Amino acid sequence: MSIHEANRMRRLPLYLFTIIDELKEKARSRGVDIIDLGMGNPDLPTPKHIVDELCKQARLTENQRYSRPNDKPEMVFKEAVATWYRERFDVELDPVSEVLPLIGSKEGVAHLSLAFLNHDDIALVPNPAYPVHFNGVIMAGGILYNIPMTAENQFKPDLRSLSPELVRMAKLLFISYPHNPTSSVADIEFFRDVVEWAKDKPNLIIAHDLAYSDIVYDGFKAPSILEVEGAKDLNLIEFHTLSKSYNMAGWRIGYAVGSKNVLASLAKTKSYIDFGIFRAIQLAAAKALTGPQDCVKQLVETYRKRRDVMIDGLNSIGWEVDKPKATFYIWAHIPPKFSALTSMEFATLLVEEAGVVVAPGTGFGEYGEGYVRFALVEDEKRLKIAVERINKVLKTED
C-alpha cells in the first residue's frame, strides 16, 4: 500500500540540511574529520547551577506530574520571565496573561501560524529567515509572502514599500533581530518605526523572534520591541529562548510574551497538542533567568573570540567578511571566484573538499542565494583548522 504525505507537507521546501547531513555522513564514512559549522547547535555545556537545579527538581514527585498553566512551579517560571524582562528591558509583564512558556521558541513560532492563519490568510515573512518562520506558515496552509532582504538594506524588511492592499490582507508579520542567518542587528529606532507603521493595522499580528538578545558584542545592546511606547497596544508578541543564552538547546524551553489575546489563542492551540514542559525544566530555567548572569558574559566572550578568529582568518585568506555585532553566525558572501556556484553547490564543495560543513544560504529562503552561513559552534583551534582547509580549497580551484 502506498502512503502519501499531506499536501501541506509536500508544499514545504526541500530541507537542505538533510542533504548536507547526508554529504557530511558520506565524508565521515570516508574517514574525513568533519568540522561542523552547519547547524546553530551550541557546543558548550549548560552552566552547572542550572543543571544542579534540574537534578534537584526532577527528584520531586510533584514535578513529575502533568504541567498545568498556573500551578506553583509554572508560576515560578513565568514570574522569572517577568522579572528578567523588567531588569533587562524595563518592560512590565503580567506573569499570568502576558507570559506563555513554550517547548522551545521554534514550537511556539510554528503553532502561532496554526493558531491564526486560515487557508487564504497572508503571512509576511522577511527572507532570508530562520526556516520555521516560513515553514510554519506553509504547514498551517497560509499564504506566504516573502519580503526580500538584501545587504543593500542591511537585511531589514522595507515595510513601507509593501502595497497597502497586501498589508490589508496580511494577518501575520515575522521579524527577528539580532537576525539569523544574516547577523544583522536592529536598534530601538527600527522597532519604533515598525510600531508606528503597525498602529493603523488592527488586524495584523506582529511576532518578533528575539532568540539572540544576549549574544551581542562590542557594546551593542539588543532591544526588545516591547520597550517601544505603544507596542503593548498592538497585537504583538515576542519569542525568546533559553537555548542560546544558557546553552539549553536540548532542554526545549522558551517562551512568548506580549499581547494577552494573541498569547491566549496560542495557548489554546497548544492545549490541544501538548501538555507543557517538564516542571523540573521550568524550575531550572527560572534559576537560569534569576540566578548569576556571569555565565552569559563568559559565553559571549567565548563567541566573540571565535568570531574574531574566524573573521580574521577568512579575511587573511582573501575571503572578505564583515564582523557581526551579534549572534554566533557569520553570513558570508560566496567568494567572487565561485559566484557561478549556487550556495548549495558551494557548501557541497566545502564539505567534500575541506571537510567543513556550512549552511547554504538558500536553506533560509531564496534570498539567501549567494551566501553561506558559518555557525561558531566549534572551538578556536578547530576554526583555525577550518580556515586553513578552506584556504587550500580556494587556492586549488584557481
Ligand X SMILES: Cc1ncc(COP(=O)(O)O)c(C=O)c1O
Q: Distance (Å, rounded) from C-alpha 335 to C-alpha 346? A: 10
Binding residues for ligand X restricted to 4-43, rule: CB under 6 A: 40
Residue 254 CB, shortest distance to ligand X, in Å, is: 4
The distance in angstroms from the start CA to the end CA of the chain is: 52
Residue 338 CB, shortest distance to ligand X, in Å, is: 26
Residue type, 333: H
Q: Distance (Å, rounded) from C-alpha 125 to C-alpha 179? A: 13
Question: Is residue 209 involved in binding ligand X (CB under 6 A)?
Answer: yes
Cβ proximity to ligand X, 105 vs 259, nearer residue: 105
Q: Interacting stretch for ligand X, rule CB under 6 A, among 90-98, 100-108, 183-191, 384-392?
A: 100-108
- Say if strands 122-127 and 254-258 run parallel, antiparallel, or are unpaired: unpaired
Question: Is residue 213 involved in binding ligand X (CB under 6 A)?
Answer: no
Residue 390 CB, shortest distance to ligand X, in Å, is: 23
Starting at the edge strand found earlier in the chain, the sheet holding 329-333 runs 329-333, 371-375, 359-360
Question: Is residue 194 involved in binding ligand X (CB under 6 A)?
Answer: no
Cβ proximity to ligand X, 270 vs 394, nearer residue: 270
Question: Is residue 105 involved in binding ligand X (CB under 6 A)?
Answer: yes
Cβ proximity to ligand X, 184 vs 259, nearer residue: 184
Residue 211 CB, shortest distance to ligand X, in Å, is: 4
Q: How many CA atoms lie within 13 A of 138 on its CB side?
A: 16
Question: Is residue 104 involved in binding ligand X (CB under 6 A)?
Answer: yes
Residue 243 CB, shortest distance to ligand X, in Å, is: 3
Q: Interacting stretch for ligand X, rule CB under 6 A, among 21-29, 98-106, 111-119, 296-304?
A: 98-106
| Interface pick for ligand X out of 249, 263, 295, 359 (rule CB under 6 A) | 249
Question: Is residue 241 involved in binding ligand X (CB under 6 A)?
Answer: yes
Cβ proximity to ligand X, 109 vs 295, nearer residue: 109
Question: Is residue 106 involved in binding ligand X (CB under 6 A)?
Answer: yes
| Interface pick for ligand X out of 57, 113, 180, 362 (rule CB under 6 A) | 180
**∠ at Cα 129 (263, 21), nearest 5°?**
110
| Interface pick for ligand X out of 184, 243, 247, 362 (rule CB under 6 A) | 243
Question: Is residue 311 involved in binding ligand X (CB under 6 A)?
Answer: no
Cβ proximity to ligand X, 84 vs 338, nearer residue: 84
Q: Distance (Å, rounded) from C-alpha 253 to C-alpha 265? A: 19
Residue 94's closest CA among 205, 226, 208, 251?
226
Contact residues for 302 (Cβ-Cβ < 8 A; gap 6+): 44
| Residue the block writes with cell 501575520 | 172
Cβ proximity to ligand X, 254 vs 335, nearer residue: 254
Question: Is residue 130 involved in binding ligand X (CB under 6 A)?
Answer: yes
> Which cell goes with 154?
542591511
Q: Are the C-beta atoms of residues 318 and 394 closer than 8 Å to each other? A: yes
Cβ proximity to ligand X, 127 vs 176, nearer residue: 176
Q: Interacting stretch for ligand X, rule CB under 6 A, among 9-17, 43-51, 103-111, 167-175?
A: 103-111
Question: Is residue 254 involved in binding ligand X (CB under 6 A)?
Answer: yes
Contact residues for 346 (Cβ-Cβ < 8 A; gap 6+): 334, 338, 360, 372
Question: Is residue 183 involved in binding ligand X (CB under 6 A)?
Answer: no
Residue 136's closest CA among 171, 109, 117?
109
Total residues interacting with ligand X, rule: CB under 6 A: 13
Residue 377 CB, shortest distance to ligand X, in Å, is: 11
- Say if strands 122-127 and 143-148 run parallel, antiparallel, or are unpaired: parallel
Residue 180 CB, shortest distance to ligand X, in Å, is: 4
Question: Is residue 113 involved in binding ligand X (CB under 6 A)?
Answer: no
Alpha-carbon distances of 24 from 345, 363, 374, 382, rounded to whole Å: 14, 16, 15, 17
Contact residues for 321 (Cβ-Cβ < 8 A; gap 6+): 311, 314, 315, 330, 331, 332, 333
> Which cell goes with 235?
497585537
| Interface pick for ligand X out of 35, 211, 225, 334 (rule CB under 6 A) | 211
**Which residues of the chain form contacts with ligand X (CB under 6 A)?**
40, 104-106, 130, 176, 180, 209, 211, 241, 243, 249, 254
